[in-house]
Structure 1
């Protein structure tokens, strides 16, 4: 009986607009499992959510359930048969600089392999098509020549679970399954980029260097861009970049969980971490 009460406390059921607005005031990160009335919430992740929240802290990580048909704000998610998770983050402004400094020191001591930065950062991915054609070194050289600093770099094959969460905003699109399969088809090269020169922020500068999403359009409009030079056709466009500062934080947290942010691009008090479909 005690364990049942604990499960309810760890995963709040949002059934009204009032409860939804109250949920949006939670400090820290809130993960919302959006489900359909004819399809129950994603049960396999409940035990994982419980373990994560206990480890991270009850005040920093929250999990909620929300039925799409009960809330107007979730109208666009109605009728979806895929698991849908929405991420909301709000910073606790009451956290003092001294407490924040102590928190970073503690984290550094617990995770020796963690990467941290006080600069604005973004995620760059050299996709499987470019890696398999041996273009990784060329692309990295062009990235450095363009004035970017590479904080960390590693090659690995993404899992299906990672990519379904990574591209969850595109779950309703016809090409979603092909995109997930493509991104898991072989090794990708992942980089965390910063920028010390130039007037553009690192997210904008990297997206400019990548060029238009469609390689054919890139060759017409920005022939010197990476997608023009190394992409072939959609979705084989060689490289990925975060859409904006909020997406960069979400994507880096997903693929580099040990990465620690310090001074980043200012965010709105509430940021929904879902990818745009323009990539």
Structure 2
């Protein structure tokens, strides 16, 4: 009779510095239950961890145990009378939860997984933009104010979804980009609008499935990215969002031989506000 395959432990025991370093280098999110030897690990949250690992998978979410007295890095957590949960992603401590608060632990896990997915998706988007021949001159994450959002979308003020768009764009951070293309390349505005794809994400998925809006947009008006309509529009947007960025009669003070395009590119896939055409 063949032996039954050994079941993978829900929580890996980290008892040495070597195992701690191995945990820091692992991909995904790791939740470490830091416990005291005299009371042992926190048992009330085990069922929650089991449920979340089944739902979210082994690749993105990991759980571990670490006795505070066994590792120098955990010295500050020694002697505590309540369990402490440390959240690590990319080798960095990203959150701390004290106490066996299951709803808070679940929310923190989901929030941190979403944040990690944002980072990964932003990297993929940046790669797509650069591979399309654009240079990212400026990339700033910022939550737009209601006043500047209304100015930015003043040309859509009469539309039915205008207030919905304003509320959404002010609800979280956007990525504000200034893009350039080298001398001799296709006009930067035309090239960017081509890469964005049709305004409606559903149309984009049918007609231009490789476009940014097809990949990252959901439905109108949340179509993932914005692009200036012409040079005058780009100059207006640059002056509004980047007032210290110098604009000349020929465009902007960019690297020699480049054209500049203002663009705002947050994505709904990441839970960020979205722009429309």
TM-score scaled by length of structure 1: 0.47
Return the index of the structure with the highest Cα Rg: 2
